[in-house]
């Protein structure tokens, strides 16, 4: 029971960090798309030809991007969910101390643990894997660890990091690709 509470708490800490990182990335994407839209509009006002037909297309795409990310960010409530995770892992820490100091696992401890699990959304498998890997590398005395990282967890962690990085690169480069292909198409047509 003590290990369950401790590992759940660690996974929830990682879930909070993930949610806060998602919030920061969402904010950065919105700023990035807005800045590119403003920069492109200033560029087109200063240097654009009057017969450029791609201008409405570019700004329609930027409007769709900004609207989609604004709605997704608002509906995902990353900050609220992270706050709820934090409250949950603090409560789990209190339960951990009770269980650790108790001579026997009592029914009320299990009920409290179940109640705390139901209060917040569950963490993802990636949060759990990250908790195991981080704790393994932070701990100096590996014998004290009740869970050891497995090969499939390393593979999962690396795969997850690569996919996340590629997805973020795609999201950040998408508007640039749109602008470049739009202007390149006009240069080729001229």
Query: What CA–CA distance (Å, rounded) separates 22 from 24?
Result: 5
Phi, psi (degrees; rounded to nearest 5) at 188: -70, -35
Rounded to 10 degrees, the C-alpha dihedral 48/54/58/61 comes to 170
Report in angstroms the alpha-carbon separations of 134 from 12, 138, 164: 13, 6, 18
| DSSP letter for each residue of 11-35 | HHHHHHHHHHHHHHHHHHHHHHHHH
Distance in angstroms between the alpha carbons of the first and the last residue of the chain: 72
Phi, psi (degrees; rounded to nearest 5) at 140: -85, -35
* Per-residue tens of pLDDT for the chain, all 190 residues: 888 999 999 999 999 999 999 999 999 998 998 888 888 888 777 776 666 666 777 778 878 888 888 888 888 899 999 999 999 999 999 999 988 887 776 888 888 889 999 988 899 999 999 999 999 999 988 888 899 999 999 999 999 999 999 999 999 998 888 888 877 765 555 5
Rounded to 10 degrees, the C-alpha dihedral 126/132/134/140 comes to 180
């Amino acid at each position: 029971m003590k290990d369950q509470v401790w590992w759940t708490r660690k996974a929830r800490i990682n879930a909070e960090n993930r949610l806060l990182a998602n919030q920061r990335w969402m904010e950065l994407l919105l700023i990035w798309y807005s800045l590119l839209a403003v920069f492109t509009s200033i560029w087109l006002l200063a240097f654009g030809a009057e017969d450029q037909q791609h201008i409405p297309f570019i700004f329609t795409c930027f409007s769709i991007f900004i609207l989609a990310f604004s709605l997704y960010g608002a509906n995902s409530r990353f900050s609220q969910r992270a706050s709820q995770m934090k409250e949950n892992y603090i409560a789990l820490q209190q339960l951990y101390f009770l269980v650790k100091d108790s001579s026997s696992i009592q029914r009320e401890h299990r009920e409290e643990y179940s109640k705390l699990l139901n209060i917040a959304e569950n963490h993802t498998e990636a949060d759990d894997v990250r908790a195991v890997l981080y704790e393994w590398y932070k701990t100096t005395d590996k014998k004290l660890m009740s869970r050891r990282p497995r090969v499939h967890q390393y593979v999962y962690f690396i795969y997850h990091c690569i996919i996340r990085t590629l997805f973020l690169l795609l999201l950040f480069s998408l508007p640039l690709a749109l602008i470049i292909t739009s202007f390149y198409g006009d240069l080729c047509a001229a």
